[in-house]
Copies of this chain bind each other. A is one copy, B any other.
Amino acid sequence: MKKALLVLLAAACALSAHAKIVTKSIAYKQGDTTLEGYLAYDDAVSGLRPGVLVVHQWLGLTDYEKHRAEMLAQLGYVAFCADIYGQDNRPKSVEEAGPLATKYKTDRTLLRARVNAGLEILKQNELVDSKRIAAIGYCFGGTTVLELARSGADIAGVVSFHGGLDSPTPADDKNIKCKVLCCHGADDPFEKPEDLTAFEQEMRDAKVDWRLIMYGGAVHAFTQQNPGFVNAGAKYNERADKRSWNDMKSFFAEIF
């Protein structure tokens, strides 16, 4: 009881400090390709803190992911948005985005190299406790953080928000060292029932520590106000957005 009291009082004191979210773009390399990510942290927090990698959806690194990074910074984390497509590849339309997303979804080796390059930047950040790192991703980014896990990354956990769960190399699931949370729209028409069933079986076979949350009434892209296109199959759902964000916070409370 005394401990709980002290924790609450400490939290109350921490809240009274005026937070200032610092953000900056960071250019880095994977092979010969220059990537440009986005860092966010709260400079009122002192000491090492957990780091969260944020991986963008199919439209590439946009204000959407930057805003999520700032929300994570407000929670006290160091957040870094990885850039998978590269500094010179910022799709301006869904027509431009489609082939890029397909390129990386069909070349998972390159996808893993790109996301791991972003992870390294986060790990090297002087404010980050490298033993407390997670990665989250949206749609294409959800698929990507699962690939990060399958690459054997030494991190605490990954969260996929409405990510594609199919894997061309399910045998790689045995490399997964971290905990896995999948936040899934129960009415997502882009995720075939057989892909969902296969994913569950793959997690089971590889004895991964995993969870899947199905949000009733939510379709694809339920966390995004502008997923590139809006129709009956891809639409923002405030209820599922808030719930999945809370579920991510609970997940972080457990793994950090």
A residues with CB within 8 A of B: 1, 4-5, 8-9, 11-12, 15-16, 180, 186-187, 193, 197, 200, 203-204, 207-217, 239, 243, 246-247, 250, 254
Question: Assuming the A-B contacts A9-B12, A12-B9, A15-B5, are A186 and B213 also in contact, with contact meaning beta carbons closer than 8 angstroms in the complex?
Answer: no
How far, in angstroms, from A39 to B167 measured CA to CA in the complex? Answer: 50
Question: Assuming the A-B contacts A186-B212, A211-B215, are A12 and B5 also in contact, with contact meaning beta carbons closer than 8 angstroms in the complex?
Answer: yes
30 contacts between A and B (CB under 8 A): A1-B15, A4-B15, A5-B15, A5-B16, A8-B8, A8-B9, A8-B12, A9-B9, A12-B12, A180-B216, A186-B210, A186-B212, A193-B197, A200-B216, A203-B216, A204-B216, A204-B217, A207-B217, A208-B216, A209-B217, A209-B239, A210-B216, A211-B216, A212-B213, A212-B216, A213-B214, A214-B214, A243-B254, A246-B250, A250-B250
How far, in angstroms, from A5 to B193 measured CA to CA in the complex? Answer: 45
Contact call A243/B15, Cβ cutoff below 8 A: no
Q: Which residues of B contact A186 (CB under 8 A)?
A: 200, 203-204, 210, 212
Most chain B beta-carbon neighbours within 10 Å: one of A9, A210, A211, A243: A211
Which residue of B has the minimal Cβ distance to A4? Answer: B15
Contact call B209/A211, Cβ cutoff below 8 A: no
Contact call B8/A211, Cβ cutoff below 8 A: no
The 5 A-B residue pairs with the shortest CB-CB distance in the complex, in nearest-first order = A210-B216, A8-B12, A212-B214, A213-B213, A5-B15
How far, in angstroms, from A12 to B217 measured CA to CA in the complex? Answer: 37
How far, in angstroms, from A204 to B188 measured CA to CA in the complex? Answer: 12
**Taking the nearest CB of chain B, how far is it from the CB of A218, in angstroms?**
10
Which residue of B has the minimal Cβ distance to A9? Answer: B12
**Taking the nearest CB of chain B, how far is it from the CB of A191, in angstroms?**
13
**Taking the nearest CB of chain B, how far is it from the CB of A232, in angstroms?**
13
Q: Which residues of B contact A217 (CB under 8 A)?
A: 204, 207, 209-210
Additional A-B contacts beyond A211-B215, A213-B213 (9; CB < 8 A):
A5-B12, A203-B216, A209-B216, A211-B213, A212-B213, A212-B214, A214-B214, A246-B250, A247-B250
Q: Which residues of B contact A204 (CB under 8 A)?
A: 186-187, 216-217
How far, in angstroms, from A31 to B205 measured CA to CA in the complex? Answer: 50
